[in-house]
Structure 1
Amino acid sequence: MSSTSTMAPTAPGSLGSDVPDTELLAYLDAMLRWKDRRRTELASLDEAALAVDDADDRAAITPDVTLSMTLWQAVSDRLALIQATWDSGRVGEQERRRITTLVWGSLEQPGTRGGQSLAVSLPEACRLSDSLASSLRSRLRLDGADPDLAGRLRSLRQQVERIADQVALIPGSRSGSAATAHRALDERLSDVTERAARGADVGGLLGPLESQAATIERDLIVAASARAHAKADHAQASREVAELAARGEAVRALALRARASVSPAPRLGIPDVAALGPVPGDPAGLTAYRERLERVERALTIAQGEYAAALTRLEDLTERAARVRRSLTEGGAGDPEPAILALADQTDGLLAARPTDLTRLEALVQAQESFATAMGGRS
Structure 2
Amino acid sequence: MTAAAAPHPEPGTVAPTAPGRLGVPVQAGEAQTYLGLLRDWVAQRRADLGEVDRAVLGLTPAEQVAITTDLTVALTFWKAVSDRLTLLETTFDGGRVGPVEAERLSTLIHGRLDSNTTEHLSLPSSGSLAVSLPEACRLLDSLTRTLQARASLAPGAAEASQRITVVRAGIERTRDQLSLVPAGAQRDGASEQLARLDRRMTDLVERARRGADVGGVIGPLEIDVAVLERDLIVAAAERASAARSRVRTQQQVEELDARAAAIRKLERACLAAITPAPHLAVPNVRALGPVPQAPAELAAYRGRLERVARALDLAHETYAAGLAERDEVVGLVGAVSAMAAATALTPEAAGDVAELRARLDETLAARPLPLTRARALAAAFSAYVDAATRPQTRTGGSARTVPTTAQGRPS
TM category (shorter chain) comes to 0.5 to 0.7
Q: SS at 1:205's partner residue?
A: helix
Q: How does 1:12-23 map to 2 (within 5 A)?
A: 12-23=19-30
Partner in structure 1 of residue 310 of structure 2: none
State the shift of 1:94 in Å: 2.0
Aligned to 1:189: 201
Residue among 169, 174, 182 paired with 1:171? 182
SS of the equivalent of 1:233 reads helix
Write the deviation string for residues 27-68 of structure 1: whole angstroms up to 9, x where unpaired: 011111211221122111111123212x32222211110111
- In structure 1, the gaps of 5 or more residues are 239-281, 289-379
| 1:219 alignment partner in structure 2 | 231
Identify the residue that residue 96 of structure 2 maps to in structure 1: 90
Unaligned ranges ≥5, structure 2: 1-8, 115-119, 252-290, 292-300, 307-411
Describe how 1:275-290 pairs up with structure 2 within 5 A: none
CA offset digits 1:221-258 (Å, max 9, x no partner): 112112222221337999xxxxxxxxxxxxxxxxxxxx
The answer to whether 1:101 aligns with 2:107 is: yes
Q: Is the 8 A contact 2:111 2:132 kept in 1?
A: yes
Give the equivalent residue in structure 2 for 1:26.
Answer: 33
Instruction: Kindly report which structure 2 residues correspond to 1:74-153, keeping only aligned pairs within 5 A, or say none.
Output: 74-108=80-114, 109-114=120-125, 116-143=127-154, 147-153=158-164
1:194 maps to a residue whose letter is E
Q: Would the alpha carbon gap of residues 146 and 177 (structure 1) be closer, same or farther in structure 2, given more than 3 Å must change?
A: closer
Counterpart position of 1:201:
213
Deviation at 1:146, TM superposition (A): 5.7
| Count of residue pairs the alignment pairs up | 243
**Amino acid in structure 2 at the alignment position of 1:234:** V
Structure with bigger RCO (C-alpha 8 Å, 6+ apart)? 1
CA distance in 2, matches of 1:45, 1:116: 24
- 1:107 deviation in Å? 0.7
Deviation of residue 115 (structure 1)? 6.2
Task: Measure the CA separation in 2 of the matches of 1:145 and 1:216.
Answer: 22
Aligned equivalents of 1:29, 1:153: Cα separation in 2: 28
Opposite residue 192 of structure 1, the aligned amino acid is: L
How far apart, in 2, do the equivalents of 1:224 and 1:284 lie? 22
The residue identity in structure 2 corresponding to 1:96 is: A
Match of 1:50 in 2: 57
**Structure with the largest fraction of helix:** 1
TM-score (norm 2): 0.55
- Percent of aligned positions with the same letter in both sequences? 43
> What is the CA RMSD across the aligned residues, in angstroms?
2.8
Check conservation: 1:16, 1:98, Cα contact below 8 A: no
Q: Deviations over 1:242-294 (max 9, x none)?
A: xxxxxxxxxxxxxxxxxxxxxxxxxxxxxxxxxxxxxxxx9969x87xxxxxx
Alpha-carbon separation, structure 1, partners of 2:141 and 2:155: 18
One-letter amino acid of the counterpart of residue 189, structure 2: S
State how far apart, in whole Å, the 2-side matches of 1:16 and 1:217 are.
26
Question: What is the correspondence of 1:201-350 to structure 2 with a 5 Å cutoff?
Answer: 201-231=213-243, 232-234=245-247
CA distance in 2, matches of 1:98, 1:85: 7
Return the letter of the residue paired with 1:134.
Answer: R
The one-letter amino acid paired with 2:55 is A
Contact 1:11 1:27 in 2 (8 A): yes
Whole-angstrom CA distance in 1 between matches of 2:250 and 2:82:
25
